[in-house]
Amino acid sequence: MLYRYGKNRDLLDWITNPGIYFDDLFRSVQDVFEQGLVEEKDHYLLELAVTGFSKDEVEVEVLDGQVLKVSAQKKKEHKNKSLYSSTLSRQFSLPENTDLQKIEAKVENGLCVVILPKLPEQKPEEKRFKISLK
């Protein structure tokens, strides 16, 4: 629970222990963006909870060919014209064998599912050299 400054807390308490005001807030944000990664034979499966965000509010992108960024942003305007914004973002280093051109993502029922296909396994070329004896 996020506490407001008021009669139950004094300024010294807030200065000496500010964590009591924010612990539950950060805990709830982490719960919203929980993730799981599973490695299958031909792909990686990444699931992120994006509860409260619609498909249009979630964005999945690859940065510099090495980082997968999943972000979600919600903006609402209240009746009194005040603006409310909520933003979450998480970045993951991509495995080297990820086929960047075939990455797929979908959002359903508060879950963002990203499929990261693996590149076909390439067997190293066998090289033989005949060495002459002296």
Domain formed by 33-117, architecture: Sandwich (2.60)
The domain segmentation of the chain, as residue ranges, is 1-32, 33-117
Q: What is the pTM of this model?
A: 0.63
Task: Measure Cα distances from 89 to 6, 23, 101, 102, 104 in Å.
Answer: 32, 19, 22, 22, 18
pLDDT tens digits, one per residue of 11-33: 445 455 555 444 444 444 444 45
Instruction: Give the per-residue pLDDT at 29.
Output: 43
Instruction: Give the length of the chain.
Output: 134
* Regions of the chain short of the pLDDT cut 50: 1-12, 14, 20-32
Retrieve residue 88's tokens: 């979450």
The beta strand positions in the chain, using DSSP E, are: 35-39, 43-49, 58-63, 67-77, 83-93, 104-108, 111-117
Contact, 32 vs 110, CB < 8 A? no
pLDDT of residue 19: 54
